[in-house]
């Protein structure tokens, strides 16, 4: 893939090529149909998404099914048994999720391939994609454990066409995992009985295995209180098809992903032995948090896919909608809003695929990806909501018509900031990185090579199956301003760098500014740092992919504005006195973007 292609054409789901037709609802001009023969496929232009067999099979299924059928299933909240039968036949989930060590199909977990798969999946149907994301969580919770037979069993279930689930959350405790009431009690050496309820669990109606987080109690009475909170954690494997002790209590109806299945289930008197234990104690905790860290990261690619399809529908409507004798897109305010939406979507994609490079390159000694995973959840998912808001302003009433993808996208995009660890949690986590991000630089750390630019080899990173999330203060970063050197001629980049310098000085010169015990303050600091880290990876990828200066300028126009808003929110907190507020006010800046630069973006938006 050429370096200019990601942004010099359009940020599009199945294509980062010059044409936009391969992954569009207009019929996928130039892409193979479900009954295409090999000769036809050989003549299709190289496509970095549909060259992958799993993604191609996915696209063929949804192209054949059609939007009308998908929207009917969405309205009826109809479970997608046909899709799961199709993916089982072609072993699609097994091919994209299975690690090489346990696969009998020659598969491997390739992060670039999986990211593109999820992006394409969400372009067609976020609800269907949810089953793959939940299977990822269930599988990785097992892979990060210490039970080798269970790892092989989980992969074997995927290869048989099954799906997995992740049973962590409980109705009364939400994200407070230490307060969970699901317990296992030892009844004899190596023998246990499990019981409790789990809430908001995807795939629980059909999962072959569920990784369940529990507390290990010494006796059946449990006890509750602080003693219960300190009870050792244990991660166990349940097999619903084989367990008569598991009972589904109810399906939970949701605003979005209506065709997916999310439920509450109860387990009573489930007998198990040591062979069903995935991990215990600290390793169980690490397996859960490590799984969530990656799961929340990959959700960002679903935000991109949703926005791309919605953008495509909006652009087509504005080109064909005639108002006052002209296409609606000719109205300056609509053209500008579409340009802003395009720039934000382009930034989402630049960030996400650069953060993917840090995930691919992660090691026990280089865990920078943990910051960028948190920022992906805090920023990419919420940027998707902003993109949809801009598009909704442009498309108007059309976007609420029930036969459009857009109406579905408006609902589903709102779920992603809250699923698999909320945006607020990740802003708080981001704030914890501030001290090392801005100080005590590790100058020997290099930038990872780029998967999209072709300078990094694709393949599997074994570290991801044993990744740990703790000791954030030990994670080092190189000087953060390196990323902007290549763009110093662009005024908006220089403005953004000045904002960053002033924020860093505020943290350095005010001891109170480093106190993160106040959660409201920590979230405000996290929002500022998330915007800065977001800008860093966008700048890195823009250099690596030779993104045109006009596009960079408009993206940093938005970043300057976003950081100014974050600074104002910080300044409004009650713990600051007048001198500190004056310093924060100096972080507010007005971007400098020419009309020619916005016209450059508009021209690309027009071709979407």
For the segment 176-196, the average pLDDT, to the nearest whole number, is 92
- Residue of higher predicted confidence among 98 and 7: 98
Rounded CA-CA distance 555/544 in Å is 16
Rounded distance between C-alpha atoms, residue 564 and residue 558, angstroms? 10
Q: What is the pLDDT of residue 420?
A: 61
**To the nearest whole percent, how much of the chain has pLDDT over 90?**
77
Contact (CB, 8 A) for 254 and 415? yes
> Alpha-carbon torsion 481, 487, 488, 492, what sign?
negative
Whole-number pLDDT of residue 458:
83
Res 577: pLDDT? 87
CB contact at 8 A, 466 and 498: no
pLDDT confidence of 516, banded at 50, 70, 90?
confident
DSSP H or E segment with residue 250: strand 246-251
pTM for the full predicted model? 0.92
Mean pLDDT on 240-247: 92
Greater confidence (193 vs 421) lies with: 193
| Residue pair 103/74 in contact by the 8 Å Cβ criterion | no
pLDDT tens sequence across 104-130: 999 999 999 999 999 999 999 999 999
pLDDT band at 31 (very low <50, low <70, confident <90, very high): very low
- Give CA–CA dist 139/220, Å, rounded: 29
Cβ neighbours of 196 (radius 10 Å): 21
Question: 375-393 as b/e, with b when 16 or more CB fall inside 10 Å?
Answer: bbbbbbbbbbbbbbebbbb
φ/ψ region of 120 (left if φ > 0, alpha if ψ in -120 to 50, else beta) reads alpha
For 289-310, how does the pLDDT look when each residue is reduced to its tens digit (9 = 90+)? 999 999 999 999 999 999 999 9
pLDDT given for residue 231 in this prediction = 85
| Residue recorded with tokens 């009998």 | 104
Q: Which tokens hold the place of 584?
A: 């924060």
Determine the pLDDT at residue 227: 55
The predicted-structure confidence for 430-488, as pLDDT tens digits, reads as follows: 999 998 999 889 988 989 999 999 898 888 999 999 878 888 889 999 999 999 999 99
> What integer pLDDT is reported at residue 57 of this predicted model?
97
pLDDT at 537 over 60: yes
Task: Kindly report the backbone phi and psi dihedral angles of residue 193, in degrees, each rounded to the nearest multiple of 5, phi listed first.
Answer: -130, 135
3-state secondary structure of 403: coil
Residue range 39-66: mean pLDDT, rounded = 80
Share of the chain above pLDDT 70, in %: 90
> Taking a C-beta distance cutoff of 8 angstroms, is the pair 121, 308 a contact?
no
Average pLDDT of the segment spanning 175-193:
90
* Mean pLDDT estimate for the chain: 89
Half-sphere exposure (Cβ direction) of 405: Cα atoms closer than 13 Å: 27
Query: Angle of helix 126-143 relative to helix 111-124, nearest 10 degrees?
Result: 150
pLDDT at 22 exceeding the cut of 50: no
Residue with more model confidence, 565 or 229: 565
In 301-410, DSSP assigns E strands to 322-323, 326-327
Across the range 571-580, mean pLDDT stands at 89
CB atoms inside a 10 Å sphere around CB 63: 18
- What is the per-residue pLDDT for 229? 63
Mean pLDDT value across residues 582-589: 94
Q: Helix, strand, coil proportions of the chain in percent (round to 5)?
A: 55, 10, 35
Residue whose C-alpha is closest to residue 370's, from 480, 469, 463, 440: 469
For the chain, report the end-to-end CA distance as a whole number of angstroms. 19
In contact, 334 and 394? CB cutoff 8 Å: yes
Cα–Cα distance measured from residue 322 to residue 317, given in angstroms and rounded to the nearest whole number? 9
pLDDT, tens digit, 9 for 90 and up, residues 206-231: 999 999 999 998 765 544 555 566 78
The SS3 assignment for 243 reads coil
Residue 422 has pLDDT above 90, yes or no: no
- Let me know the angle formed at the C-alpha of 36 by 32 and 39, rounded to the nearest 5 degrees: 95
Q: Give the count of beta carbons closer than 10 Å to the beta carbon of residue 413.
A: 25
Architecture of 164-281 per CATH?
Answer: Beta Barrel (2.40)
Distance CA 483, CA 537 (A): 7
Task: Evaluate if residue 21 carries a pLDDT over 70.
Answer: no
How far CA 47 is from CA of 12, 116, 245, 260, 460, in Å, comes to 12, 11, 48, 29, 21
Confidence (pLDDT) at 225: 54
**pLDDT band at residue 559 using 50, 70 and 90 as cut-offs:** very high
Q: Which residues contact 470 (CB under 8 A, 6 or more apart)?
A: 286, 289
The pLDDT-based confidence of 278 (bands split at 50, 70, 90) is very high
Helix (H, G, I), strand (E, B) or coil at 307: helix
- Domain extent listing, the chain: 5-136, 164-281
What length does the chain have?
A: 608
Residue 473 to residue 519: CA distance in whole angstroms = 18
Q: Is 172 a residue whose pLDDT tops 70?
A: yes
Q: What is the pLDDT of residues 305-342, one digit of tens each?
A: 999 999 999 999 999 999 999 999 999 999 999 999 99
Q: How confident is the model at residue 43 (pLDDT cuts 50, 70, 90)?
A: very low
pLDDT > 80? residue 42: no
Residue 367: pLDDT over 60: yes
**Is the per-residue pLDDT at 155 higher than 70?**
yes
């Amino acid at each position: 893939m050429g370096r200019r292609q990601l942004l010099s054409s359009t940020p599009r789901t199945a294509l980062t090529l010059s044409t936009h037709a391969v992954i569009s609802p207009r019929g996928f001009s130039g892409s193979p149909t479900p009954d295409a023969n090999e000769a036809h496929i050989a003549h299709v232009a190289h496509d970095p998404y549909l060259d992958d067999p799993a993604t191609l099979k996915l696209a063929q299924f949804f192209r054949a099914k059609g939007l009308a059928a998908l929207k009917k299933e969405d309205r009826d909240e109809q479970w997608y048994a046909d899709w799961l039968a199709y993916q089982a036949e072609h072993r699609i989930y097994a091919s994209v999720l299975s690690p090489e060590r346990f696969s009998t199909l020659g598969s491997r977990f390739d992060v670039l391939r999986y990211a593109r798969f999820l992006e394409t999946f969400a372009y067609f149907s976020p609800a269907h994609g949810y089953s793959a994301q939940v299977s990822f969580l269930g599988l990785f919770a097992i892979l990060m454990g210490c039970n080798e037979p269970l790892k092989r069993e989980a992969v074997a279930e995927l290869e048989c066409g099954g799906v997995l689930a992740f049973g962590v959350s409980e109705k009364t405790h939400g994200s407070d995992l230490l307060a969970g009431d699901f317990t296992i009690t030892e009844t004899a050496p190596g023998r246990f009985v499990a019981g409790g309820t789990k809430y908001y669990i995807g795939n629980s109606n059909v999962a072959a295995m569920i990784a369940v987080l529990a507390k290990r109690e010494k006796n059946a009475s449990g006890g509750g209180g602080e003693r219960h909170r300190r009870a050792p954690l244990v991660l166990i494997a349940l097999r619903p098809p084989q367990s008569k002790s598991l009972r589904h209590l109810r399906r939970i109806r949701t605003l979005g992903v209506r065709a997916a299945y999310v439920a509450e289930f109860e387990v009573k008197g489930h007998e198990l032995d040591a062979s069903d234990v995935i991990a215990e104690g600290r390793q169980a905790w690490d397996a859960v948090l490590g799984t969530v860290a990656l799961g929340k990261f990959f959700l960002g690619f679903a935000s991109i896919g949703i926005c791309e399809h919605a953008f495509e529908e909006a652009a087509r409507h504005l080109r064909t909608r005639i108002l006052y004798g002209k296409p609606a897109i000719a109205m300056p305010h609509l053209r500008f809003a579409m340009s802003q939406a395009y720039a934000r979507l382009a930034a989402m994609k630049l960030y996400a695929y650069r953060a993917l490079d840090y995930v691919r390159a992660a090691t026990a000694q280089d865990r920078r990806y943990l910051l960028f995973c948190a920022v992906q959840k805090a920023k990419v998912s919420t940027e998707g909501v902003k993109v949809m808001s801009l598009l909704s302003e442009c498309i108007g009433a059309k976007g609420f018509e029930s036969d459009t993808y857009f109406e579905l996208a408006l609902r589903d995009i709102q779920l992603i900031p809250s699923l698999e660890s909320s945006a607020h949690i990740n802003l708080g986590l981001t704030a914890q990185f501030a001290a090392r991000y801005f100080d005590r630089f590790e100058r020997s750390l290099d930038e990872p090579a780029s998967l999209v630019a072709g300078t990094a080899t694709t393949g599997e990173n074994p570290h991801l199956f044993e990744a740990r999330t703790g000791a954030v203060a030990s994670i080092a970063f190189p000087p953060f301003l390196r990323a902007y050197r290549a763009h110093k001629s662009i005024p908006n980049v220089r403005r953004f760098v000045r904002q960053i310098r002033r924020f860093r000085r505020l943290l350095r010169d005010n001891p109170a500014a480093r106190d993160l015990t106040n959660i409201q303050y920590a979230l405000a600091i996290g929002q500022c740092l998330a915007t800065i880290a977001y800008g860093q990876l966008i700048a890195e990828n823009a250099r690596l992919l030779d993104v045109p200066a006009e596009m960079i300028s408009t993206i940093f126009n938005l970043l300057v504005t976003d950081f100014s808003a974050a600074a104002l929110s910080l300044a409004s907190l009650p713990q600051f006195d007048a001198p500190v507020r004056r310093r924060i006010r100096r972080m507010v800046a007005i971007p400098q973007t020419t009309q020619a630069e916005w016209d450059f973006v508009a021209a690309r938006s027009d071709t979407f």
